[in-house]
Amino acid sequence: MVSFLKEAEELFEEYKDYAPSHKEICEIIENKEFLTKEDLAKLLNVNSKEDIMLMAKKAQKLTCENFGKVILLYAPLYIANYCQNGCVYCGFSCRKKYKREKLSFERIENELRKMKEEGIDSVIILTGEDRINSSVEYIEKACRIATDLMSEVSIEVYPLYEEEYRRLSSIGVVGITMYQETYQREDYDKLHPFGPKKDFEFRLNAPERALKAGFHEVCVGPLLGLSEPKKDVLCAILHAEYLLDKFPKAEISISFPRFRSAGTDFIPSYTVSDKEFIKFLIIARLYLPRVGIVVSTRERPSLRDALIDVCVTKMSAGSKTTVGGYAEEKDEDAEAQFEVEDRRSVSEVVDVIIKKGLRPEFTNWVKGVKSV
């Protein structure tokens, strides 16, 4: 599994100072049906707006060819924020002292029904990493409620064992999101000083365990800003490729969330500009034409809107990053895992998608389900 990481590190070191010419970029974009790993490493160093626009046009074409005009919408539901990890950057870290909360099953159902009323039919169930307060049994029961109400249920919880993923798959959970945070081990160790999350490889291998257990969808990626962004993006793209090659029938997605303040004193080592962020998403599409690309409400509305018809296939809408927050009003500034930039309602996001000539979906279109 870690072979792709070694390959990514070697590629990054070989090409980190490489500056491709405009002619070489045109040759890669216009004359190649499939990019090589060397092409990928070279394109990560593109800086000119003219070249990024050229790449964007090709990315737009590939997105339309592979995904049509559909944008899948989803929303997260945080059901608990107990956590045993000491992550230095996270709003749920046990280093941060505030009142923890865990939804009862009745409140989970109320939240899901409220989300359903707002038009959401695809949900991701989230918890912090605490096997005592957010046990597998608790997550399983919450997912049972969700699968009764929603057409698609995924999870973003702590890494599970294969048999635990199999239990969730058997009740209708189809997807897992697992951010590695950073693929750089040395930085990873510093950012996660204690707690179960300190196990780098157990987290890295979680998507593969889920797919072996019967899950159909996986989303991977880093949290940009925690380590060298180009290197993390290169690792994430090769991670997605590894999963695509090993599980060709699965739906593999990639996401590059940027660090947002989470009520801690953590200052990220790197800042990723809008230009770089856009470039990373475009390059992911150029190298992996059939990979899903997810953009969350961490990003501001104008930027999300600009990306909708270029390379994005899935986005969150009407998101709350507090525990609950849909049926019960919460103070998002004080209780959220991270700051949300796009606070528009589901209907407002839908209107933008339609105005761009695209079709919003609330269930996974690959499975031939209903549209909005």
Residue 65 β-bridge partners: none
Q: How far is CA 97 from CA 19, 92, 264, 281, 335, in A?
A: 46, 9, 10, 35, 11
Mean pLDDT of all residues in 226-245? 98
Mean pLDDT of 233-254: 97
pLDDT reported for residue 338:
54
Mean pLDDT of all residues in 68-89: 94
Question: Residue 333 half-sphere exposure, CB side, CA atoms within 13 Å?
Answer: 0
- For residue 363, what pLDDT band results from cuts at 50, 70 and 90? confident
Report angle CA 135, 141, 145 to the nearest 5 degrees.
145
pLDDT of 1? 56
pLDDT of residue 311: 96
Tokens for 230? 């180009």
What are the tens digits of pLDDT across the range 311-324? Answer: 999 999 988 888 99
Burial class (CB in 10 A: 0-12, 13-18, 19+), 340: buried
Mapped onto helix, strand or coil, the DSSP state of residue 64 is: helix
pLDDT of residue 335 exceeding 60, the answer is no
What does the alpha-carbon distance between residue 265 and residue 258 come to, in Å, rounded to a whole number? 17
Mean pLDDT of 324-337: 68
Q: Taking the CB of residue 57, how many other CB atoms lie within 10 A of it? A: 12
Does residue 371 register a pLDDT over 50? Answer: no
Percent of the chain with pLDDT over 70: 95
What confidence score (pLDDT) does residue 6 get? 94
Domain boundaries, the chain: 68-361
Mean pLDDT over the full length of the chain: 92
What are the helix and strand counts (H, E) for the chain?
15, 9
Stretch 184-198: mean pLDDT, rounded? 96
Residue 260: which pLDDT band, with cuts at 50, 70 and 90? Answer: confident
Average pLDDT over residues 80-100: 88
Identify the pLDDT of residue 94: 84
The helix (run of H) or strand (run of E) holding residue 136 is helix 136-149
**Pairwise CA distance, residues 317 & 76, whole Å:** 9
Q: What pLDDT was estimated at residue 339?
A: 64
pLDDT at 79: 97
In this structure, how many other beta carbons lie within 10 angstroms of the beta carbon of residue 247?
18
Query: Band of the pLDDT at 333, cuts 50, 70, 90?
Result: low
User: Within its chain, how far is the Cα of 354 from the centroid?
Assistant: 23
The SS3 assignment for 100 reads coil
Q: For tokens 């899935």, what's the residue? A: 314
Residue written as token pair 């973003």: 156
Residue 340 has pLDDT above 80, yes or no: no
User: What pLDDT, on the 0 to 100 scale, is given for residue 369?
Assistant: 34
pLDDT at 331: 61
> What is the model's pLDDT at position 368?
36
pLDDT for the residue numbered 366: 44
Report the C-alpha gap between 20 and 23 in whole angstroms: 8
pLDDT of 87 above 90: yes
| Residue appearing with tokens 């159902």 | 109
As to burial, measured by CB atoms within 10 angstroms (0-12 exposed, 13-18 middle, 19+ buried), residue 203 is buried
Classify residue 306 by burial, with Cβ atoms within 10 Å: 0-12, 13-18, 19+. Answer: middle
Angle at 172 between CA 328 and CA 252, to 5 degrees: 95
| The predicted structure's pLDDT at residue 99 | 84
DSSP summary character for residue 279: H
The predicted structure's pLDDT at residue 93: 85
How far apart (Å, rounded) are the C-alpha atoms in residues 348 and 73? 12
pLDDT at residue 2, as a whole number: 77
Q: What is the CATH number of domain 68-361?
A: 3.20.20.70
Predicted confidence band of residue 364 (pLDDT cuts 50, 70, 90)? low
pLDDT for 235 equals 98
**Strand pairing class (314-316; 70-78):** parallel
Q: Is the pLDDT of residue 55 over 50?
A: yes
CA 182 – CA 214 distance, rounded (Å): 26
Amino acid letter for position 351: D
Mind listing the pLDDT tens digit for each residue in 263-301?
778 999 999 999 999 999 999 999 999 999 999 888 999
Structure confidence by residue, pLDDT tens digits, 142-187: 999 999 999 999 999 999 999 999 999 999 999 999 999 999 999 9
Who contacts 89 (Cβ-Cβ below 8 Å, separation ≥6)?
Answer: 191, 223, 226, 259, 262, 264, 266, 268
pLDDT of amino acid 365: 44
